[in-house]
């Protein structure tokens, strides 16, 4: 993603102040840059947020695999600086999440919800950040908390489907940039809403769009919905 974002920034006429891998001088970069973009690993998040807050520099976080403690750290940082966090920066998935929320609200609890995702063989987290984002959208449409209803895989589980569950299935293989499908399964019929990323350029372009939008915003936590006005 680092290379894809550098290409998208170039396309948009933005210049890259620098980049860091593990052990890099984040503090100096946060001072030098107008904004930080983080697509790395959850273990890097704390240092990135600390450097951004110390420098008063806005930050866009695209890293996935975040746990509750990471989200709490993002909330704390967002009290001091603008922070945009999303599991998917593409415009298509942002719109898909809005459609999923609407469909879940309209269809009601009689329709079972299953979310299927497929990614390249190198991806380390599962379910994907996007699948969780779509799950959150579905849960919001039903007025429930995702944590209370998420079923993260049927491995080792026997028996009938848990009523009200939102199920996840993750596939890994080849070079798939990112496929997501939300299945609403009713009695005798199914509705499927989905998105296929044809390349990583869509995530990078969306990240640049989000970054440009974030510049100059007041301290708060934002999502791609704010960028697109959804």
Ligand X SMILES: O=C(O)C1=N[C@H](C(=O)O)C[C@H](O)C1
Ligand Y SMILES: NC(=O)C1=CN([C@@H]2O[C@H](COP(=O)(O)OP(=O)(O)OC[C@H]3O[C@@H](n4cnc5c(N)ncnc54)[C@H](OP(=O)(O)O)[C@@H]3O)[C@@H](O)[C@H]2O)C=CC1
Residue list, annotated binding site for (S)-2,3,4,5-tetrahydrodipicolinate: 120, 129-130
Catalytic residue among 70, 119, 180, 209: 119
Would you count residue 39 as binding ligand Y (CB under 6 A)? yes
Residue with tokens 């746990």: 67
Residue 146: is it exposed, middle or buried by C-beta count within 10 angstroms (0-12/13-18/19+)?
A: middle
Least separation in angstroms between CB 113 and ligand Y:
22
Q: Which stretch binds ligand X (CB under 6 A): 47-55, 108-116, 126-134, 215-223?
A: 126-134
Residue with tokens 């290379």: 3
Residue nearer to ligand X on the CB measure, 81 or 204: 204
Q: What is the DSSP string of 112-162?
A: EEEEEEEE-TT---SS-HHHHHHHHHHHHHTTS-HHHHEE---TT--SSPP
Would you count residue 41 as binding ligand Y (CB under 6 A)? yes
Residues of this chain that interact with ligand X (CB under 6 A) are: 64, 87-88, 119, 123, 128-130, 178, 203
Residues of this chain that interact with ligand Y (CB under 6 A) are: 1-2, 20-22, 39-41, 43-44, 62-65, 86-89, 125, 129, 203
- Catalytic residues, by residue number, are 119, 123
């Amino acid at each position: 993603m680092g290379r894809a974002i550098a290409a998208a920034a170039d396309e948009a006429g933005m210049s890259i102040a620098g980049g860091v891998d593990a052990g890099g001088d984040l503090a100096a970069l946060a001072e030098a840059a107008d904004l930080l973009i983080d697509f790395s690993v959850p273990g890097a998040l704390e240092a990135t947020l600390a450097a951004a807050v110390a420098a008063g520099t806005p930050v866009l976080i695209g890293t996935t695999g975040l746990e509750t403690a990471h989200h709490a750290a993002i909330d704390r940082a967002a009290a001091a600086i603008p922070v945009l966090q999303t599991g998917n920066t593409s415009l298509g998935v942002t719109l898909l999440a809005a459609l999923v929320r609407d469909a879940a609200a309209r269809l009601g609890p009689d329709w079972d919800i299953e979310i299927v995702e497929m990614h390249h063989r190198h991806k380390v987290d599962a379910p994907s950040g996007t699948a969780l984002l779509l799950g959150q959208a579905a849960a919001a449409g039903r007025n429930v908390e995702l944590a209370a209803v998420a079923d993260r895989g049927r491995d080792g589980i026997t028996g009938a489907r848990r009523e009200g569950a939102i199920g996840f299935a993750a596939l890994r293989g080849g070079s798939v940039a990112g496929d997501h499908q939300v299945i609403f399964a009713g009695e005798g019929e199914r509705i499927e809403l989905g998105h296929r990323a044809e390349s990583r350029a869509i995530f990078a372009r969306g990240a640049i769009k989000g970054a440009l939008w974030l510049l100059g915003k007041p301290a708060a936590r934002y999502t791609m919905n704010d960028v697109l006005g959804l």
